[in-house]
Amino acid sequence: MAATANPGPCPQVSEVQDRLLIGGVGGGSPGAIGLLLQTHAITHLIVCGRVDQDVHVAAAREAVVDGGTELHVAALVPEDKSDICRIMDNAVAFIQDALDDELNAVLVACSKGASRSVAVVLAYLMSRGADLASAFDLVASARWRIWPSALLVDSLMTLEARAGRCLKQEVLPATSSLPVLRRIGAHAAWATAWHNGIHASRAEAEDLWDQCKGLPLEEAFAKCKQALLGKSTAELELFSDQPRATYGQPPHAQVDNIAGISDDLKICGLGGLSASAIASMLQKHCVKRVVVCGKPERDAHVSAVKDALSIAGISTADLHIVPVRDSASEDLGSLLASAIDFVMAVPGRATLIACRQGASRSATVAIACLVHELKVSVLEAFNQLAASRWRLWPNAGFVRQLLAFEDSLKLAQQGERTTDEYKEQVLRKIGIHAAWATNKHNLRTGSGQQGLTIQEVEKFWNQAARQAEEPEERYELCKSLSLGVDLTSFDAEPDSKRACVDIGAEQKRTKRFVKMDIACSMN
């Protein structure tokens, strides 16, 4: 393909205009999303996605509980396509109400910050008088990695037609008639290509789009991407915004056996599943007892499990709740002993250990069970669990609590303590795996870096270790580098340049925080 300029890394969050930001939160824990909101002084959050299907929606709902950010869920994309315009109208009204107050800042987010959130921001800009073409150019100038789907573009055309600024047609017209479709469709294919490591030029994308003249809009979008990426139509479904009901349960809901203790110990994630779906899962795997990790008052999957037990005819006495959030600051260590006692109390009865994604809280409890029962180290227990389930990313705080748990057992049983060198080895091993697994998990939604190896993540860990002393910070930096998100602060540039960038961003945040403090003091 022809040589073209590298667009560079795309930040996790981009500012479209003053106090209106767009970004992706896919793969982020509630704690990470909460930190993102705090960093950018976000007062209002729109998260685009389906509560029953999208993990990032559940994570965002948890993230705003403690921070006070107002949340609006734009349920894109609905089963009924005719509902899209109504959903975007409601989201636009939420943005307008928020930005009427100069103290507010709005973040519009979806999994990747590339399609659904882009459509909502475009709809808002159009509501302020912009046409679709100029609105798209504004967003694309702030954030190159965008590829709104044909379905959403079609709905945006409907909104523009409603405003009397264009004549919407069902079939893709000649590019000379509506150049905005050529602009958006070619950009979407180009951005998708670069995101996947294919160094295409804009001119190539535009030429391929011209070859799709006369096709229905959705087919034109697909064929242009397919030709530029050299992918099959099935592979391009990764970038589709069609409802995912036909995809079955989300991948985190896969039930894996925890080898080593018994054949009856299992682990999975329950986020986004209904009570009836969970009940069917319990019955399918003959599960009779459940350990669920989550805060009953804030985690929807905990309530769903309670209802599922009733449906499946399982007594509430066979349910043990570990009331923790997936946050490095949470005290899970003091709850491990009771969880282990519950798991081991009734041998021979299948027990499920679960949390929202089956990757952090439940993984920590499962590792503790292996350490306690098999008299193995945390590192050995993690390797054993990872052999059965690669989708693991316990946060650094939980790993440190596991090490403290192991240390106390070793002191009681052997009169010795674990060494600092060993603890650092475990933190590194699990941190690297967590970043690698997070990236692999996100590839199914089109974000992350294709073909990323453990060896490459090890280099990212070394880079993160040079930037941060605390394990919690290293874990987050290593994940960011592995996902290819917001890498500008890690560029090899003079400290003075970084300092200038940081100071400028901090001044903007401080100004908004001061305004918010003043507003609070007046209430």
- Tens of pLDDT along the chain (523 residues) come to 344 577 888 888 999 999 999 999 887 778 788 888 888 889 999 999 987 778 889 888 888 876 678 999 999 988 888 899 999 999 999 999 999 988 899 999 999 999 999 999 999 999 999 999 999 999 999 999 999 999 999 999 999 888 775 544 443 343 434 788 999 999 999 998 888 778 888 899 999 998 888 888 888 888 888 888 775 444 444 444 433 333 346 677 889 888 888 788 999 998 878 888 899 999 999 999 999 999 988 788 898 899 999 999 999 999 999 999 988 899 999 999 999 999 999 888 899 999 988 999 999 999 999 999 999 999 999 999 999 999 999 999 999 999 999 999 999 999 999 999 999 999 999 999 999 999 888 776 556 788 899 999 999 999 999 989 899 999 989 998 888 765 333 333 333 333 333 334 444 444 444 444 433 433 3
Is residue 308 within 8 Å of 282, Cβ to Cβ? yes
What's the CA gap between 460 and 165, in Å, rounded?
49
* Per-residue model confidence (pLDDT) at position 4: 59
* Per-residue pLDDT, 241: 41
**Looking at 89-165, which runs of residues are DSSP E strands?**
106-110
Cα gap 279→17, rounded to integer Å: 46
Which residues lie below 8 Å from residue 165, measured CB to CB, with a gap of 6+?
A: 131, 132
pLDDT of residue 213: 80
Task: Classify 219 as helix, strand or coil.
Answer: helix
Question: CA torsion angle for 257, 260, 264, 266 (degrees, to 10)?
Answer: -30
Which positions are catalytic? 355
Q: How many CB atoms lie within 10 A of CB 311?
A: 16
pLDDT of residue 330: 93
Q: Is 380 left (phi over 0), alpha (psi -120 to 50) or beta?
A: alpha
* pLDDT of res. 173: 43
pTM score, two decimals? Answer: 0.56
CA distances from 75 to 57, 124, 148 (A): 9, 16, 16
Bridge partners, 356 (sequence order)? none
* DSSP symbol at 513: H
477/466 Cα distance (integer angstroms): 11
Strand partners, 475: none
CA distances from 194 to 9, 10, 188, 235, 449 (A): 10, 11, 10, 16, 11
Give the integer Cα–Cα distance in Å for 103 and 514. Answer: 9
Name 47's bridge partners: 73, 109
Query: Using CA atoms, how far apart are residues 438 and 456, in angstroms rounded to an integer?
Result: 14
Q: How many helices (H) and strands (E) does the chain have?
A: 19, 10
Between the CA of residue 306 and those of 273, 289, 310, 359, what are the distances in Å? 13, 12, 7, 21
What is the helix, strand, coil percentage profile of the chain, to 5?
A: 55, 10, 35
In a 10 Å sphere around its CB, with 0-12 CB exposed, 13-18 middle and 19+ buried, how is residue 274 labelled?
middle
- Name the helix (H) or strand (E) containing 257: strand 256-257
Are the beta carbons of 243 and 235 closer than 8 angstroms?
A: no
Closest listed residue to residue 287, CA positions, set 273, 261, 308 = 308
Question: What are 171's strand-pairing partners?
Answer: 216
Question: Closest Cα partner for 24 from 317, 522, 333, 447?
Answer: 447
Burial-class residue 243 by CB neighbours within 10 Å (0-12, 13-18, 19+): middle
Q: Are 108 and 95 in contact (CB under 8 A)?
A: yes
Peptide bond into 171 cis (omega under 30): no
